[in-house]
Amino acid sequence: MIRLAAVGDLHAGTDSRGALAAAFSHVAAEADVLLLAGDLTRVGTPAEAAVLGDELRSVPIPKLAVLGNHDHHGDEVAAVVATLAAGGITVLEGTGVRLEIGGLTLGVAGAKGFGGGFAPSAVSAFGERELKRFVEHTCTTAARLRNALGELTGCDRRVALLHYAPVRDTVQGEPPEIHAFLGSQLLAEAVDAAGADLVLHGHAHHGAERGSTPGGIPVRNVAMPLIGCAYRVFALGAAVPAGAPGARA
Amino acid sequence: MSVTPIEHVLVHVTDALATDPRVAELGLAAHLADEDAPPPRTTVVVVEGNVSTPERKANVVTVAAEVLEDAGWHAVVQDRTLLTSPVPPVDGAEDL
């Protein structure tokens, strides 16, 4: 059994010191790995990243993260990533990590993702250069996610970690006018193409917790303002062999 | 000089609450209170949503009022934001 603790949108600021650590003090007893689904910081400064690293420093399980839009706001991404790494938090962007847990191999592939919306209202790469760049960024991050998942061959379980939502299901509750800025169906297409057992994301604070990709892969929105607590825990058992009762088609 | 319509200013208030580092909360909404009240009336702007620290909550009214005043609106700002902070989960694991 692999146990994942996951949360997004912690939004640590320099005024968050002392506000987060207590909520994570028992996470190691409940989970084997802590996944952070972006928006780790308030405005994307190394100082804020240092606060988060310090707050989670005593959490003795692997800590994997993707960045969110807030973490990009300060245009100091490299410094933020380095500061988080110094605090024991590994940031994934088009990359994956393998972890040996209880005799099983967990693969986690991460990418920030981006917007563009969901069918039938998805944005197309047509017209102004700025709009084409917007969609191209989504295409790029979706391709990175697909590649990262594809490289995690041989894992017993694979998880896709995003900040932006891959499906409309988990942004329901947000104003429809902003759905295109909350995620993109291209991310779900990437996950369905490469395969995964679970997709985790944040960003949609007023969305819904549960959904699934068109291919049937469970999607969970773990934005902290939505889940109302420090993290959710998910348990992944050993994969059911193909062809056996209960196996994914 | 004409005063900027309040509907435009409220957009800038929301933007400031998201980008001003004193608050920097992306999910806040500013709207008029008592929109159906008969004149004369005081312009009251209500800010709602979640904030994560007491410091940020303490700055909501200040940041909103600054934007309103810059646009020529001497409005009363009501802070109806909710202070939220992470707590350990009480639910067990979801089996997948």
Q: Residue A212: its chain B contacts at CB < 8 A?
A: none
Report pLDDT digits (tens) over A189-199: 999 999 999 99
Q: List A residues 150-209 in contact with B (Cβ-Cβ < 8 A).
A: 197-198, 205-206
Domains detected in chain B: 6-83 (3.30.300)
> Which CA distances in Å does A232 have to A117, A145, A153, A185, B51?
26, 23, 26, 24, 21
Report pLDDT digits (tens) over A171-224: 999 999 999 999 999 999 999 999 999 999 999 999 999 999 999 999 999 999
Beta-carbon separation of B91 and A230 below 8 A: no
Q: List B residues 36-55 in contact with A (Cβ-Cβ < 8 A).
A: 50, 52-53, 55
Q: Residue A230: its chain B contacts at CB < 8 A?
A: 86-89
CB pairs under 8 A between A and B: 78
Query: Are B16 and B63 within 8 A, CB to CB?
Result: yes
Beta-carbon separation of A234 and B52 below 8 A: no
Q: List B residues 53-72 in contact with A (Cβ-Cβ < 8 A).
A: 53, 55-56
- What string of DSSP letters covers A176-235? GGGGGGTBBHHHHHHHHHH--SEEEE---TTS-SEEE-TT--EEEE-BHHHH-SS-EEEE
User: Please, what's the largest Cα pairwise distance for chain A?
Assistant: 53
Question: Is A57's Cβ below 8 Å from some Cβ in B?
Answer: no
Beta-carbon separation of A13 and B89 below 8 A: no
The CATH classification of domain A2-236, taken from the options 3.30.420.130, 3.40.50.2300, 3.60.21.10, 2.40.10.340: 3.60.21.10
pLDDT, averaged across chain A: 94
In this complex, the residue of B27, B52, B96 whose CB is nearest that of residue A218 is B96
> Highest mean pLDDT: which of A99-108, B3-12, B39-48?
A99-108
Query: What is the share, in percent, of chain A residues with pLDDT greater than 90?
Result: 90
Closest residue in chain A to residue B83, using alpha carbons only: A225
Minimum mean pLDDT range among A51-60, B65-74, B84-93: B84-93
Rounded to an integer, the average pLDDT of A2-7 is: 97
Distance from CA of A124 to the nearest CA of B (A): 26
Query: What is the share, in percent, of chain B residues with pLDDT greater than 70?
Result: 91
Instruction: Please tell me the distance from the alpha carbon of residue B81 to that of residue B31, in angstroms, as a whole number.
Output: 12
Distance from CA of A229 to the nearest CA of B (A): 5
All structural domains of chain A with their residue ranges: 2-236
Beta-carbon separation of A230 and B89 below 8 A: yes
- pTM listed for this prediction: 0.90
